[in-house]
Amino acid sequence: MNMIVIGCGRVGAELANRLYQRGHTVVVVDQSEAAFHNLPMEFRGRTVVGEALSQDALRRAEIGEADALAAVTGNDTINAVVAHLARSFYSVPSVVVRNFDSRWRPMHEVFNLQVVSSSSWAAQRIEELLYYQEAHSVFSAGNGEVELYEFVIQDEWAGFSLGDLLPDKGCVLAALTRGGRAMLPIQDEILQKGDLILVSANLEGSEALRSRLQFEPQGDSA
């Protein structure tokens, strides 16, 4: 696929190299030639020096042939405008924009853009790691509104069912791995010590789940 990365800071350089390593054709655009020093030595994609909003720079990046574009500069306004142009004017099929300052997220949302807010996501992850130890996130969707959480069943929950453990709202079972074999269990599945549980949850659901994991279950196990 033909990929364009707008902005060659640390995020842009890392993204461009990851795309290149996966076999994509990658063009990186930045107004500063010195920014391309952020790219690793093994990167063999193209670089274009020019303003992100310059039609000439976008033309030299061959935006008309692009399958995807990521706007990841440190300027939220530039990211929003470039992404909007790429999708609306140049009809780039897949466009993702980086939100640098979370106060400007509504601007991206007005354009109905696919947004990754590194500051919002990082703040939430740090908050979780500071005082949540029972379950840890292995995948984050959007800007962390929904995440996949993984945890291991300990002695106190062995013999109880998944229905006993999982909250009624905000948490959906994704998979159970037992003895190295994954399955899609039902709510009546009886838990065993060492079971690896994967759930999808929003913040409310993850907090309820962690609260349950902190305390001894009530009632008799099966």
Those residues whose C-beta lies under 8 Å from the C-beta of residue 23, and which sit 6 or more positions away, are: none
Tokens at 187, concatenated: 């709510």
Assess contact for 193 and 151: CB atoms under 8 A.
no
Tokens at 114, concatenated: 């696919």
Tokens at 61, concatenated: 């990046």
Closest CA to 138 of 165, 108, 177: 177
**CA dist 201 → 43, 45, 98, 124, 146 (Å):** 37, 38, 24, 14, 6
- Tens-digit pLDDT profile for residues 87-102: 999 999 999 999 887 7
Assess contact for 98 and 72: CB atoms under 8 A.
yes
- Tens-digit pLDDT profile for residues 145-168: 898 988 889 888 999 999 999 999
Those residues whose C-beta lies under 8 Å from the C-beta of residue 120, and which sit 6 or more positions away, are: 99, 102, 105, 143, 144
**Whether the predicted pLDDT of 133 surpasses 60:** no
- Tens-digit pLDDT profile for residues 168-195: 999 999 999 998 899 998 889 999 999 9
Q: What is the pLDDT of residue 131?
A: 52
| pTM of the complete model | 0.64
First vs last C-alpha separation in the chain: 53
The band of 138, judged by pLDDT with boundaries at 50, 70 and 90, is: confident
DSSP 54: -
Domains of the chain in start order, with CATH, are 2-121 (3.40.50.720), 132-214 (3.30.70.1450)
Distance, CA of 194 to CA of 201 (rounded, Å)? 21
